[in-house]
Structure 1
């Protein structure tokens, strides 16, 4: 019963924050967009809404660790494993802006979708080759404007928490643009929110930023090896995080 009450509180407070944040984000956009084509400032304010929602949730304890990014305006292609819808809230705690590649359905959620569009996040329609091509072109545009992009190369959340096979798109984009890959391992968010349920779960979760992987000098022939190397880095790091999260 207590979890249902807390879950109701989290959903209501999140909706209220979204309702209040939309006009604020619109104001930030109107003031900063002319001199900030990458919408870096708007994006940072949008991620702060996710952090605020997390702080109002007594059941979630999130933290980020690992490599510190000293130049937030150097564009990276960040890739992470995907455990839960709550990954969005955890990764928003990272102290630099990234534009998310996200399925189109998320952009249709009131408040959240509107803010994602203002922030310059990128929509993709599953199963649509034309949409995928446009999404990658949009990601390239964000990188050229000095903003990192965030791609989850599994394509969908893992059913059992294990790191699934990675798709090539993020790694082809990295090779074509010469941008480094920034691997991020996520652990613990599966307990936050079960797929198809509205009940919030108690969870400790960590996102660990791993050392960047340079792509300069690589060709498209190197994509499979690059993909598999980064996947293994994330899988190994996630296994360590799972051990770290276990009670002593």
Structure 2
């Protein structure tokens, strides 16, 4: 009963934050003259940070070098386990444009804020739309703003790393921008599937791995770069969980 009551108060706080953030974000966007919409986007990420902090059950541990220069842009990639990934990653003190499925941009209020912040919608299954996504990513990178991808494309139901798409790695090589891997664990326990009740005492871990320069990689080498990143992510997950790497990165999901 107390867990349900606590979840009600958390959701009320989240709704209040979202409703209050929209006009604030609209005002900032009105005066944001940065070509990468840096200040608008940075304020939107602070909403995710605020949402993560109103939940006393989430214990978030952050490791690695978070003091990177986010105006020296990266193609950031992260594994994906839950809807909680976004507010947790927003604890990082960076601005980065999210590459996200188009359906999210159609949502009232949250979708409006994603548009204001300049995030990048993806319509799956359309080559023409994919070209637009990469053109938009290039625009932000050229204007000193990072972009972030979930290369798995969707949440992992098992907690293992699933198959990666190569798009983020193709982009990094083509634009000669470093890849910055981010690894998450624990967010899969934040909010059980098809439930509105938050789990208690969830420990979420986030680690920023070392940037991987793309100098020396050629067009067509995206699989090599992708496998390197996946291996590093799998090794970190295995270390956290105290298991063999095959327990977190099933061989059948690895790129060919």
* Shorter-chain TM-score tier: over 0.9
CA shift for structure 1 position 232: 0.6
1:90-133 per-position Cα deviation (integer Å, ceiling 9, x unaligned): 10000111110111121122221111111111111223332222
1:189 aligns with 2:190: no
Query: In the aligned structure 1, how far is the partner of 2:7 from the partner of 2:130?
Result: 35
CA shift for structure 1 position 69: 3.5
1:138-161 per-position Cα deviation (integer Å, ceiling 9, x unaligned): 111111110111101001010110
Partner of 1:104: 102
TM-score, normalising length from structure 1?
0.93
Q: Is the 8 A contact 1:38 1:142 kept in 2?
A: yes
Partner of 2:83: 85
CA shift for structure 1 position 242: 3.1
Query: In the aligned structure 2, how far is the partner of 1:114 from the partner of 1:57?
Result: 24
Alignment of 1:17-166 (within 5 A): 17-32=17-32, 34=33, 36-166=34-164
SS in 1 for 2:220: helix
Range 88-97 or range 56-65, more displaced: 56-65
Query: In the aligned structure 1, how far is the partner of 2:107 from the partner of 2:193?
Result: 16
CA shift for structure 1 position 79: 0.4
Query: In the aligned structure 2, how far is the partner of 1:71 from the partner of 1:42?
Result: 18
Q: Is the 8 A contact 2:99 2:120 kept in 1?
A: yes
Structure 2, unaligned stretches of length 5 or more? 243-256
Q: Is the 8 A contact 1:66 1:210 kept in 2?
A: yes
Partner of 2:209: 210
Q: Is the 8 A contact 1:81 1:163 kept in 2?
A: yes
Query: In the aligned structure 2, how far is the partner of 1:46 from the partner of 1:79?
Result: 19
Partner of 2:8: 8
Query: In the aligned structure 1, how far is the partner of 2:68 from the partner of 2:19?
Result: 33
Partner of 1:246: none
Query: In the aligned structure 2, how far is the partner of 1:221 from the partner of 1:135?
Result: 19
SS in 2 for 1:150: strand
Q: How many residues align?
A: 242
Range 127-136 or range 48-57, more displaced: 127-136
CA shift for structure 1 position 11: 1.9
Q: Is the 8 A contact 2:177 2:214 kept in 1?
A: yes
Q: Is the 8 A contact 2:66 2:92 kept in 1?
A: no
SS in 2 for 1:205: strand
